[in-house]
Structure 1
Amino acid sequence: MPRQVDHEGRRRLIADAVCQLADEHGLEGVTLRDVAARAQVSMGAVQRCFRTKEEMLVFALGHIGERIGERVRARLVRSPAQSAGTALGHAVTEISLLREEHRAEARVWLAFVAQAAVSEALASTLKANYAALQDALTRLVAEAFEGTRRAGSPDPQREARTLLALADGLTTHVLVGHLTPQEALDVLDAHLAGLWE
C-alpha cells in the first residue's frame, strides 16, 4: 500500500526550514537545495509542494503570520477575565516580537517586509496579514472604549493602525540595537497608558 503523505504538514516543515535559513542568511540565502536539506526532504518533495521559490516564500510568510496570530489569540484566551485594555496591551506586545524567544521570528519577518517592497506576491500576503492584525486590534480598541463617552476617545481603526506601525517600528529598533527590549516595552506601555488619560 502506498505511503500517505501529509502535504500540509510537509509544506509547514518546509516553511520552517525557509524561516531558519532566512534567519541565518537573509532571504537571499534561501535556496531550494538548502531548504530541502534543512527540512530533510528531497528537492523533488520541495518542488511538488511549491512550483517556484516565490510560491515557497509566500507560503512561509503566511506561516509566520499565522503563528503570530495564534499566539495573540492564545494570549487572550489564557486570561478571559481581563479588561479589554489589558487584552489590547497583550495583543500588541505579542505582535511587537520583542521577547528574546521571538527574536529570530522578528528578523525573518523584517526580511520579508524588506523583500515585499520588490515582490508583489509577498506584498499581497503581507497586506493580508496586516489587515487581519488591524481588524483584531480595531475590535480590541473598540471594546476597550465601549461605553466611554469622554471626548478624545480614539478612533478604533486609526488607533489600530498606529499600534501596528508602533509595533513594527519598535521591532526594528530592538533588532538594530537602538533600543533594548525593555525600553521598547516602556515606549509601548507609555503609548497604551496615554490612551486612557
Structure 2
Amino acid sequence: MPKKVDHLQRRTLIADALMRVAAERGLEAVSLRHVAAEAGVSAGMVQHYFATKDEMMAFAMAVVRDRGEVRVTAAVTRLGAEPPPRLLIRTFIAALLPLDEQSGDTAKVALAFLAYAAVRPAAAAALRDDTAQLRSFVASLLPGPGADEAAGGLLALMEGLGLYLVSGQYTAEQALAVLDAHLDRLFPG
C-alpha cells in the first residue's frame, strides 16, 4: 500500500523552515538549500512543492497571515459576545503585536515579507487587500467622522509599535501604554 502524504502538511513544514531561516538570519539567507536543510528534507522535495522561491515566499506569507488570524480570533473570542469597540480594537491589535518571543519571531518574518513585497507587485497586491480589510474593520468600530483616516492611523501606529518592539526600543508594557493612550484619544470618556 503506498504511503499517504499530506501535501499541505509538507508545504507548511517547508514554510515553517523558511520562517525560521528568515527570523534567525534574515530573508536574504532564504534559499532552497537553506530552507531544505532547516526543514530536514531534500532540496528536491522543496522543489517538488514550490517551483520558485517566489511561490515558496507567497505560501509562507499566507501561513503567517493565517496564524495571525488564529491569534486574533482566539483573543477576540475570549471577550465574549458584543465587546465594547475600544476593547475589541485593543484586543485585536495586542494580538497582532510582537509582545513575546514567539510573536517577535513571527513579526521579524512579517517585516521581512513587507520588504520583499515592496519590490514584487504580486506580493504587494495580497498585502494591500489584507490592509484594506483591516482598515475597514477598524473603521467600522471607531466613533465619529473621519473613522477611515483614524483607522489608517491606528494601523500605522500598530506597525510602528511592532517595529519598536522587534528592535528592542520598546518593552511590551511601553507599547501597550502608547496604544492605550492613542485609544483614549479616539474613545474619549
Query: So what's the TM-score if we normalise by structure 2?
Result: 0.90
Give 1:135 shift: 3.5
The correspondence of residues 24-103 of structure 1 with structure 2, limited to 5 A, is 24-81=24-81, 82-103=83-104
Residue 15 of structure 2 contacts residue 59 of structure 2 at CA under 8 Å; is this kept in 1?
yes
The correspondence of residues 1-197 of structure 1 with structure 2, limited to 5 A, is 1-81=1-81, 82-139=83-140, 141-142=141-142, 145=143, 153-197=144-188
Consecutive unaligned residues of structure 2, counting only runs of 5 or more, are none
Query: Aligned partners of 1:100 and 1:154: how far apart in 2?
Result: 38
Query: Aligned partners of 2:50 and 2:130: how far apart in 1?
Result: 20
Residue 58 of structure 1 contacts residue 125 of structure 1 at CA under 8 Å; is this kept in 2?
no
Residue 14 of structure 2 contacts residue 39 of structure 2 at CA under 8 Å; is this kept in 1?
yes
Query: Aligned partners of 1:3 and 1:134: how far apart in 2?
Result: 45
Residue 17 of structure 1 contacts residue 35 of structure 1 at CA under 8 Å; is this kept in 2?
yes
Residue 61 of structure 1 contacts residue 126 of structure 1 at CA under 8 Å; is this kept in 2?
no
Query: Aligned partners of 1:97 and 1:127: how far apart in 2?
Result: 21
Say which SS state the counterpart of residue 41 (structure 1) adopts: coil
Equivalences, count = 187
Query: Aligned partners of 2:45 and 2:137: how far apart in 1?
Result: 36
Counterpart of 2:116, as a letter, is Q
- What's the Cα RMSD here? 1.7
Cα offsets for 1:51-86 (capped at 9, x unmatched): 100110111111101111111111111221432321
Query: So what's the TM-score if we normalise by structure 1?
Result: 0.86
Cα offsets for 1:120-152 (capped at 9, x unmatched): 23212322332333333234x15xx4xxxxxxx
Query: Aligned partners of 2:145 and 2:7: how far apart in 1?
Result: 45
Percent identical among aligned pairs is 41
Consecutive unaligned residues of structure 1, counting only runs of 5 or more, are 146-152
Change (3 A) 1:188 1:176: same
